[in-house]
């Protein structure tokens, strides 16, 4: 359990309340002036005391926060403690694009601009070590269900446990407490989205399981061509313009999460520069060659072999999306205040 001071502009209250409630649900002690300062108490002295006692100060960065002298004063006092003790106490959270103070520019921030869950997962990765070390010495009175969910959330956020292992644990938890939606989600991601799993309800396939690829029925791309300059964008721009030999397609990645994880490990270190080449038939891509409206690619043979070119980085995108979805489902299962 960590004591966490939330430094923010009053104009960002709605967002800060949400973070505060989610931190409380995980067993932490967030400090907000509205929650803690009573009528008649000295606001500056109460804030100073809370910052001094806090394990972390979360700074919510936004244009309004940048303009607030109070916010800068709050986090800077903890920043110098961080320098003196050589530990991390100040955790920047980027809510909106803004000018970031020089002292914070070297820090990695949790990015909440586009996806709250993804930002919260990254933020908890920095906070969870405090939770783990404190939980051994502090008896937190929680029911077993909440304890199990919180422990699994810690595994998911720490990223020290593989995603497939986290899904397996989540499936056990779902069966134990009869969480039907969570159980179905885990089964599908662990087994893979084979056709038998969705043929009757194709709308159930999540969007994150699709990625942009290019089909080449009669042409092999020379990935060693010097002119690419190791630039994956240049290769995709070339395929996008060459409509005679390459056909854009949204491909469904049906593989299990454990398989996708093994692929990302194999490509570790060069993932962003890699293009994955997959050999399939048109029928495997589920392109209906007998449909008169299907003109790409130009062949009526469903068993015609084709090459499929896609970005290897899309595999990481699938893993991140599944991790975010699992986190969201677990957070939703935690009891409210």
The pLDDT of residue 214 is 93
Question: How many domains does the structure of the chain reveal?
Answer: 2
- The whole-model pTM stands at 0.61
The pLDDT of residue 294 is 40
Q: Output the CA–CA distances (angstroms, integers) from residue 56 to 61, 151, 232, in the order listed.
A: 15, 21, 40
Domain boundary among 83, 99, 128: 128
Q: CB count, 10 Å around CB of 181? A: 11
Contact, 244 vs 218, CB < 8 A?
no
The pLDDT of residue 115 is 80
**Domain-embedded: residue 86:** yes
Domain boundary among 80, 99, 128: 128
The pLDDT of residue 48 is 78
Asked if residue 109 and residue 216 are part of one domain, the reply reads no
Asked if residue 207 and residue 122 are part of one domain, the reply reads no
**Domain-embedded: residue 135:** no
Contact, 47 vs 33, CB < 8 A?
yes
**Domain-embedded: residue 226:** yes
* Average pLDDT value over all residues in the chain: 79
222-241, pLDDT tens digit by residue?
877 767 777 788 889 999 99
The pLDDT of residue 38 is 61
Asked if residue 9 and residue 103 are part of one domain, the reply reads yes
**Domain-embedded: residue 262:** yes
Lowest mean pLDDT among 7-16, 63-72, 184-193, 264-273: 264-273
**Domain-embedded: residue 60:** yes
Residue 247 phi/psi, 5-degree rounding, is -120, 120
Q: Is the confidence at residue 316, as pLDDT, over 60?
A: yes
Asked if residue 121 and residue 11 are part of one domain, the reply reads yes
**Domain-embedded: residue 140:** no
Q: Is the confidence at residue 252, as pLDDT, over 70?
A: yes
More confident residue, 27 or 209: 209
**Domain-embedded: residue 74:** yes
For the residues 151-168, what does the mean pLDDT come to?
Answer: 86
Domain boundary among 82, 106, 128: 128
In the chain, % of residues over pLDDT 70: 76
More confident residue, 154 or 244: 244
Asked if residue 23 and residue 113 are part of one domain, the reply reads yes
Q: Output the CA–CA distances (angstroms, integers) from residue 235 to 214, 230, 310, 314, in the order listed.
A: 11, 9, 10, 15
* CATH number of the domain enclosing 117: 3.40.50.10140
The pLDDT of residue 268 is 58
**Domain-embedded: residue 43:** yes
Asked if residue 120 and residue 21 are part of one domain, the reply reads yes
More confident residue, 128 or 192: 192
- Domain around 296: 202-314
| Tokens coding 62 | 């936004």
The pLDDT of residue 198 is 67
Distance CA(310)–CA(161), nearest Å, equals 27
Confidence of residue 85 (pLDDT cuts 50, 70, 90): low
For the residues 276-286, what does the mean pLDDT come to?
Answer: 78
């Amino acid at each position: 359990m960590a004591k966490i001071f939330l430094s923010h502009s009053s104009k960002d209250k709605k967002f800060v309340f949400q973070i505060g409630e989610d931190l409380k649900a995980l067993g932490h002690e967030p400090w907000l002036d509205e929650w803690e300062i009573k009528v008649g108490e000295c606001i500056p002295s109460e804030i100073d005391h809370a910052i001094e006692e806090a394990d972390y100060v979360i700074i919510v960065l936004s244009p309004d926060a940048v303009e607030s002298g109070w916010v800068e004063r709050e986090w800077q006092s903890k920043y110098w403690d961080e320098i003196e003790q050589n530990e991390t106490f100040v955790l920047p959270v980027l809510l909106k694009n803004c000018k970031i103070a020089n002292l914070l520019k070297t820090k990695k921030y949790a990015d909440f601009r586009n996806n709250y869950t993804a930002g919260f997962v990254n933020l908890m990765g920095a906070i969870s070590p405090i939770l783990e070390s404190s939980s051994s010495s502090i008896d937190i009175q929680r029911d077993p269900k909440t304890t199990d969910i919180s422990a699994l959330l810690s595994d998911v956020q720490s990223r020290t446990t593989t995603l497939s292992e986290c899904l397996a644990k989540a499936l056990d938890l779902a069966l134990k407490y009869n969480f039907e939606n969570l159980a179905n989600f885990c089964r599908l991601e662990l087994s893979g989205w084979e056709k038998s799993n969705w043929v009757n309800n194709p709308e159930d396939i999540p969007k994150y399981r699709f990625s942009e690829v290019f089909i080449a029925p009669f042409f092999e791309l020379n990935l060693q061509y010097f002119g690419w300059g190791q630039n994956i964008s240049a290769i995709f721009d070339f395929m996008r313009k060459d409509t005679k030999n390459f056909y854009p397609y949204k491909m469904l990645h049906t593989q299990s999460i454990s398989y996708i994880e093994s692929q990302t490990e194999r490509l570790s270190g060069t993932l962003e520069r890699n293009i994955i080449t997959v050999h399939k038939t048109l029928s495997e891509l589920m392109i209906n060659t007998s449909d008169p409206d299907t003109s790409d690619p130009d062949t009526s043979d469903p068993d015609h072999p084709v090459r499929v070119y896609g970005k290897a980085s899309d595999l990481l995108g699938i893993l991140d999306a599944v991790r975010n979805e699992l986190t969201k489902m677990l957070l939703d299962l935690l009891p409210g205040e």
